[in-house]
Amino acid sequence: LFFDTEHLKKQQKDLWDKLSEMQLENGSFPWFKGMNGSTFNTLKVAEILCQMQEMGIPLSSENQKVLKKSVDYLDKELTKSYNYIIRWNKENKNEFYISRLDLDILYVKTITGMTNSKAENYFLQQTEKYWTKLDLPDQAIAAIILNKIGKKTTAKTMPSLPGAISTLAPMGRMRVTRP
């Protein structure tokens, strides 16, 4: 049963069908059937699909449609975030404003290549200009994003993850969270 390829293929198809059924018309995924869509859930589904593609696992045409609808939804959420910043911070719109959610949406959009919106360009500029204000895990995501869009020089100047580990005798090994 565990190694029966036909059984595994059927289970995989059933899971993909359930996933497709859960996706709402606007492209988002709710926590449970009947609920409103969740940006977080949609982001996680899109990230998993992107990571599958990055690992060389081909997506079926149905899964590609699910991913496209998800990315379209996430782009609208990114635009809402951008509009909020522009509306409420007119005099300071060039200051650092990027949330982890915005950064994760940028990650999905750059991995899929489904890019090029005004909001996205704003957040890409923010990421390139203010990456030093991000904590270490966010800097890692920023490096991937900047590398994907061809900003290899900036991505290479970011500190390495192993280089951010310190060893202090009384405390042992620990991660340095700020450069």
Non-local CB neighbours of 48 within 8 Å, separated by 6+ positions? none
Kindly report the pTM of this predicted structure.
Answer: 0.80
Asked if 71 and 114 count as a contact pair (C-beta separation under 8 A), the reply is yes
Distance CA 107, CA 16 (A): 23
pLDDT along the chain (179 residues), means of 10: 76 86 94 93 93 86 92 94 82 74 92 82 87 83 85 66 56 52
Sequence letter at residue 99: S
* pLDDT tens track for 150-175: 877 666 666 655 555 555 556 555 55
- Residue 78: what pLDDT? 93
Asked if 71 and 50 count as a contact pair (C-beta separation under 8 A), the reply is no
Distance CA 113, CA 122 (A): 17
- Residue 179: what pLDDT? 47
- Residue 177: what pLDDT? 54
